[in-house]
Structure 1
Amino acid sequence: MCYNYSQYLDKKDLEEEVGKKIIPNDQTGLTSFYNANGFDFPKMPIITSENPDFIQIAEWGFIPKWTFDPEDSKSKQIRSGTLNAKAETIFEKPTWKDSAEDLHCLILTTGFFEPHHAPDGSCIYYFITTKSRKVFSFGGLYKKWINKKTGEERKNFTIITVEPTPMLRRLHNKKPRMPYILGPGEENLWLTRGNNRLDIENLTRTYIDDDLIAWPVSKLANQKQNVPSVIEPIEFSDSLLIAENNWILTGEKPKSEL
């Protein structure tokens, strides 16, 4: 599952990289995150199918539609279970089915974190990103929560997860899943409204490994530390991982990537 990801670009760089402006009313809500933790329900940049020409700021995790107070303990507990949505069940689960057909979004990211568990019980965290793009997109669903007393409207989103690629299966080896990553040519398709269920299910296929790279990072990744060093590669020696003979697991970048 994906509970930690980064989007560390500031407003100017994000707009330049994506080629879209942030909606004026949302501009003050943008915060740069090296390590956004879903259980804090942070506000993050997305692009929605309803308004695909602009970047909007939305909260990670669906607020229960029945609640009058999103900050109460019961609402937060339920919301913690809505950070990810399995692609295989978005048309069946009541939480997702109202959004599954048309309320799609691109979740703008610079990378995400996953743990690798060794047989001895130790754990190394990895930062995964793409070689070709500074910002790329997870596919997600969104909705609007409206306070029935005040009329306040808050946008929420969830990250869709899919079966992992071979690389991610080796890396994220305990209950392996991965976020649904969209290639550049698929982003507009995901935002197109009116697709039927089969079209949508065909889109949510597993991403190809070719453009993904990963490296080990410090345990700050699991400590809610939002600092630049959280995404920096570390050196380590672990015979169990080195035995995999794969630079992604050993942390040894090929010369072409140095």
Structure 2
Amino acid sequence: MQQKDPIPKVQKRFKAVVDHPELFLQAEVINGFAHPNVPVILDTTPQIISTNYTWGLIPSWAKDMAFRKNTLNARLETLHEKPSFHGITANRCLILATAFYEWHWNDDKGKSKQQYQINTTEELFAFAGLYDQWHNPSTGEIMHTYTMLTTTANETMAYIHNHKKRMPIILKKEDELAWLTGANPVEDFGFPYEVELVGFPVEKG
């Protein structure tokens, strides 16, 4: 994922204020497996851009932090079946970004790959996410974590992500509030719901 726009532009776009500007993550590339604190907007505080939410959801009942490596993403189709997301499907958030990355497999086993950068027609956009809180029994710390929802790939992403044919749920600008408020059930945001995407091969540097 990519998030690199300056704070004033982000605040203007989402009509919200960053809670801790010194912690606002700005980077060309963000690796989810590093479990970064990516800026999010919660349903409970839509006027605030929160900087203390970590990518990789840890359910309140999890025993340790290792759980989060399995919950960077949440499949929309099985959301209500997974214990990890039980009771939090109403805990909605916007995950802010400017672009994201995915791999195209050039062969059946993925030994040769081409990375793509994917953009929308909006300079800034939001992924659909869910969040939770976890109490670390070892340190007493309260951790705020989230997961990104995914759905069946549209035509563009089916070509790029040809191995699994999945894509994150990217919200249309006019639907961001409907997502946050729960005005529409989560199922309404699965494919064929989609935004226009454009993919660019990333040159190897």
Under a length normalisation based on structure 1, what TM-score does the superposition of the two structures give?
A: 0.71
| Mapped partners of 2:190, 2:115: distance in 1 | 26
Letter in 2 for 1:55: I
Structure 2 residue aligned with 1:238:
none
How many pairs were matched up?
A: 202
1:140 aligns with one of 114, 126, 129: 129
Structure 2 residue aligned with 1:213:
198
Structure 2 residue aligned with 1:111:
99
Structure 2 residue aligned with 1:87:
76
Q: What is the SS of the residue equivalent to 2:30?
A: strand
| Mapped partners of 1:40, 1:149: distance in 2 | 21
CA deviation vs aligned residue, 1:37-78 (integer Å, no higher than 9, x gap): 11100010111111112111210002353567x6xxxx33x2
| Mapped partners of 2:88, 2:192: distance in 1 | 21
2:27 aligns with one of 15, 18, 33: 33
| Mapped partners of 1:98, 1:66: distance in 2 | 11
**Structure 1 residue 123 corresponds to structure 2 residue 113:** yes
CA deviation vs aligned residue, 1:120-161 (integer Å, no higher than 9, x gap): 842110000112x11101101101123457653221110000
Letter in 2 for 1:201: E
Counterpart mapping for 1:34-53 below 5 A:
34-53=28-47
For the structure 1 residues 219 and 37, does the alpha-carbon distance in structure 2 shift closer, same or farther, using more than 3 Å as the test? Answer: farther
| Mapped partners of 1:45, 1:219: distance in 2 | 28
Larger radius of gyration: 1
Structure 2 residue aligned with 1:14:
10
| Mapped partners of 1:82, 1:192: distance in 2 | 23
| Mapped partners of 1:208, 1:66: distance in 2 | 33
Q: What is the SS of the residue equivalent to 2:50?
A: strand
Q: How far 1:27 sits from its partner (Å)?
A: 3.0
Letter in 2 for 1:59: T
Which structure 1 segments of 5+ residues have no match? 221-258
| Mapped partners of 1:19, 1:184: distance in 2 | 12
Q: CA RMSD in A?
A: 2.2
1:56 aligns with one of 36, 50, 54: 50
Structure 2 residue aligned with 1:226:
none
| Mapped partners of 1:116, 1:106: distance in 2 | 26
Contact conserved, 1:49 with 1:192, CA < 8 A, in 2?
yes
Contact conserved, 2:60 with 2:132, CA < 8 A, in 1?
no
Which structure 2 segments of 5+ residues have no match? none
For the structure 1 residues 212 and 113, does the alpha-carbon distance in structure 2 shift closer, same or farther, using more than 3 Å as the test? Answer: same
| Mapped partners of 1:186, 1:67: distance in 2 | 32
| Mapped partners of 1:67, 1:172: distance in 2 | 31
| Mapped partners of 1:149, 1:79: distance in 2 | 16
Higher helix share: 1
Contact conserved, 1:180 with 1:206, CA < 8 A, in 2?
no
Q: Percent identity?
A: 34
| Mapped partners of 2:113, 2:48: distance in 1 | 39
For the structure 1 residues 219 and 206, does the alpha-carbon distance in structure 2 shift closer, same or farther, using more than 3 Å as the test? Answer: farther
Q: How far 1:30 sits from its partner (Å)?
A: 1.2
Under a length normalisation based on structure 2, what TM-score does the superposition of the two structures give?
A: 0.89
